[in-house]
Amino acid sequence: MKTTRGDFPQEINLHLISYLEMLQRKGIKSIYLTPPGAVHEATAEQKQLSGDQERSVAKETMGGIVEKLSEVDAKVSVCEDCGLHRGRTNTVFGTGNPGTKVMFIGEGPGRDEDIQGKPFVGRSGQLLTKMLGAIDLSREDVYITNIVKCRPPDNRDPQEEEVRCCEKYLIAQIDLIRPRIICALGRVAAHWLLDTKDSLAALRNRENFYRGTQVLVTYHPAALLRNPGLKRGAWEDFKQLTAIISE
């Protein structure tokens, strides 16, 4: 039996020699060492397998999230837990990418949203789409929803009882999507999410959290349409958002 001592420390060499001599005494004439290349190939294969498994798990997980979101959406579509169901044409659950890092939350559907059953599709929605484009995002990259899923009459603010009734659906959406950050669009959404009456200016300039998820507060697109002078501030907020989701 031939051995190559190589650069092993002397103590290990002695143990190795004694082990090989013991094998020799037992009649073992040769042992097979795995060529280094084979070890590399096996590792690469394992890595490939592990990558495929990870992708498959991610795909399954995403499939599960989409399915669970559909189940919540189905419950919302027949929900009569608060008085807002009486005036709705359609419920407005939410749209976008369930694997996103950023979830936009407005206060509630308006007239266009109620008719189409989709969030932010009127003039405000068009502006939101443009603002997303300015930071190289599309609506398909993010998830967009509202605090309440049915239109408050005459576009009034949602009331406490309505928000409390509907919050379970928003919580389910957030728990399933688990965004890196929530972007609260406007004073009403920010106040309900953060349980505060602080000014929008104060909320825009501090770190906020909703059930452990960071919340960045910015203007509602409707406010930007009414007062274009606010757009500079909104642009600063969106730059901050980009920095956070690029981390």
Minimum CB separation of residue 104 from ligand SF4 in Å reads 18
Q: Give the separation between CA 246 and CA 42, rounded to whole angstroms.
A: 35
Output 106 or 208, the one with its CB closest to ligand SF4: 106
Minimum CB separation of residue 94 from ligand SF4 in Å reads 12
Output 114 or 125, the one with its CB closest to ligand SF4: 114
Other CB atoms within a 10 A radius of the CB of residue 65 amount to: 16
DSSP annotation of 152 reads P
Minimum CB separation of residue 89 from ligand SF4 in Å reads 12
CA dist list (Å): 25 to 4, 13, 28, 32, 40: 19, 18, 7, 18, 33
Output 139 or 149, the one with its CB closest to ligand SF4: 149
CB within 8 A of 96, min separation 6: which ones? 103, 139, 140, 141, 142, 143, 144
Binding site for ligand SF4 (CB under 6 A): 76, 79-82, 84-85, 91, 148-150, 162, 165-166
Output 169 or 210, the one with its CB closest to ligand SF4: 169
Output 82 or 189, the one with its CB closest to ligand SF4: 82
Minimum CB separation of residue 108 from ligand SF4 in Å reads 8
Minimum CB separation of residue 162 from ligand SF4 in Å reads 6
Q: Give the separation between CA 179 and CA 101, rounded to whole angstroms.
A: 4
* Residue 94, CA atoms < 13 Å, CB-side half-sphere: 31
DSSP annotation of 209 reads E
Minimum CB separation of residue 231 from ligand SF4 in Å reads 30
Minimum CB separation of residue 92 from ligand SF4 in Å reads 9
Judge residue 13's burial from the number of C-beta atoms within 10 Å of its C-beta, 0-12 exposed, 13-18 middle, 19 or more buried: middle
Write out the E strands in the chain.
Answer: 95-96, 102-106, 143-146, 181-185, 208-210, 213-218
Output 98 or 152, the one with its CB closest to ligand SF4: 152
Output 82 or 203, the one with its CB closest to ligand SF4: 82
